Structure 1
Amino acid sequence: MEKIAASVFQFDVIRGGVAENRALVMEALEHCPSGLVVLPEMWSCGFDYKHLDTHALGTEEILKDLSDMARRRSLVIVGSLPVSEGGSIYNVAHVMDADGRLAGSYSKTHLFTAGGEGRGFAAGSSAGVFETMAGPVGVMICYDLRFPELSRTLMDKGARILAVPAQWPAVRRTHWQTLARARAIENQLFVVAANRCGEDGELRYPGSSLIVSPTDQVLVDMGEGPGLATAELDFSLMDDYRKAIPCLRERRPEVYAL
């Protein structure tokens, strides 16, 4: 597949407001064109640390709804939800393929300890690239974006798209924009990054969900308001650019080793 539609949906995630958040997301998915859509991080409940156990119990039901929606609308859906496993809670991005199959899941590897994430979540320990109707999709979650080693690993595993669900605050908006663009440029792939907007307590979120091409063309920058935006990803342009600027095959790992 040479071209696909990719969408990002950003909204004001209500902490603990599962019913409201769920209704907003399902309505948005009804209006997405067939292709890939990325949702914000922890979109069902936000960082409702006091009730994560309860919210995690509802994740399976939400995944059934996403499976039905993916199959009916021919969507590849990526967004993170709380999952309980082995007595711990993980921040997990599920990749639902367009046939309703769960293509895979990725547990957030890098917890934002400065924001207290370690008090509610356990860290994942593996990188994931998942085969989907949209092609091979690698997943990073929010703070993961600061770690180029992870994005490079995903590219090496065959990712042609990096999907990034996030709740990145407005105070570091320029970091969000710069890092998303850097991950696209250095790995010569598409970055589809969905960030929340609105406010949660003292934190303000800028939205600014992004779709960035391998050539650093910002195909989408949504700004601050809630909504849905879509761009076309042309993989033939990506392949041509990798041939023209062959930095991926001209790496010298033996020099970089510690």
Structure 2
Amino acid sequence: MGNITASVFQFDVIRGNISENRSIVMEALEQCPSGLVVLPEMWSCGFDYKNLKAHALVSEEILKDLSDMARRRSLVIVGSLPVFERGNIYNVAHVMDADGRLAGIYRKTHLFTAGGEGKGFAAGSSADVFETMAGPVGVMICYDLRFPELARTLMDKGARILAVPAQWPAARRTHWQTLARARAIENQLFVVAANRCGEDGELSYPGCSLIVSPTDQVLVDMGEGPGLATAELDFSLMDDYRKAIPCLKERRPEVYTP
């Protein structure tokens, strides 16, 4: 598998304003080089709990736009939107492949109950890896980063990239940076993590979107402002590093069982 270009886009998500957020994201996607691009969590509307169902009903229309954009710009697009299904609202990451096909969806598994997510969303219950033109992609959403078991499961299922849409607050900025790097190091894969920036009520968001290599090279750290950043992902580096330090092969699961 050859190298690919990966991009992260961060911006100040305006709570409840789908029209403005959609316009900002579509304009950014027009500027993306071909390859993978990761958008923030709940980028269409933010955590507008009062109107969440109404926002969820617009997501299907947004996905049509993403499909057209992916096909036209040869992009693999990952970002999360609210989705209403079976009487519940889920925080769903859609993996749109570069041919406009929906490669798969991931429903956020770990809800940040300290922030009230359990009151607005139902939790997903599966971890899947999606075959895309950028390679096998596993997805984690924001709070999921705190659960190494999920990242390890995705690696075991063949993920070579972990895509992470997020709305991670500035108060725990160092946790965001450390956990993203840890997931890359311990699983010897690439982490492409897009976090929002700006303000929403009393919460401040730092951006600091990251692209991290399997060897803990921070290829991108965007800092606080809105924008788009890219890096080349060299998969031969991943393969060579896994051979040089074969910790994934030297695990002993029989010892870890409670």
TM-score (norm 1): 1.00
Distance 1:74 1:50 in 2: 36
Instruction: Name the counterpart of 1:67.
Output: 67
* CA displacement, residues 153-175 of structure 1 (integer Å, 9 cap, x when unaligned): 00000000000000000000000
Distance 2:17 2:59 in 1: 14
Instruction: Name the counterpart of 1:221.
Output: 221
- Structure 1 residue 12 and structure 2 residue 15: aligned? no
Instruction: Name the counterpart of 1:82.
Output: 82
Residues 203-222 of structure 1 mapped to structure 2, 5 A cutoff: 203-222=203-222
Instruction: Name the counterpart of 1:240.
Output: 240
Instruction: Name the counterpart of 1:155.
Output: 155
SS at match of 2:76: strand
Residues 28-39 of structure 1 mapped to structure 2, 5 A cutoff: 28-39=28-39
- Structure 1 residue 184 and structure 2 residue 184: aligned? yes
SS at match of 2:25: helix
Q: CA deviation at 1:125?
A: 0.2
> Percent identity over the alignment?
89
* CA displacement, residues 8-31 of structure 1 (integer Å, 9 cap, x when unaligned): 000000000100000000000000
Instruction: Name the counterpart of 1:169.
Output: 169
Instruction: Name the counterpart of 2:128.
Output: 128
Distance 2:47 2:35 in 1: 28
Distance 1:87 1:256 in 2: 38
Matched residue type, 1:41:
E
Q: CA deviation at 1:2?
A: 1.8
Instruction: Name the counterpart of 2:116.
Output: 116
Q: CA deviation at 1:128?
A: 1.6
Structure 1 moving runs of 4+ over 2 Å: none
RMSD of the alignment, in Å? 0.3
Distance 1:160 1:54 in 2: 35
Instruction: Name the counterpart of 1:200.
Output: 200
Matched residue type, 2:221:
D
* CA displacement, residues 102-149 of structure 1 (integer Å, 9 cap, x when unaligned): 000000000000000001000000002100000000000000000000
Unaligned stretches of 5+ residues in structure 2: none
Distance 1:132 1:209 in 2: 22
Instruction: Name the counterpart of 2:22.
Output: 22
* CA displacement, residues 209-253 of structure 1 (integer Å, 9 cap, x when unaligned): 000000000000000000000000000000000000000000000
SS at match of 2:91: strand
Distance 1:209 1:126 in 2: 25
Distance 1:73 1:184 in 2: 28
Distance 1:44 1:53 in 2: 13
Distance 2:127 2:175 in 1: 23
SS at match of 1:198: strand
Unaligned stretches of 5+ residues in structure 1: none
Q: CA deviation at 1:90?
A: 0.1
The number of aligned residues is 258
Distance 1:234 1:22 in 2: 31
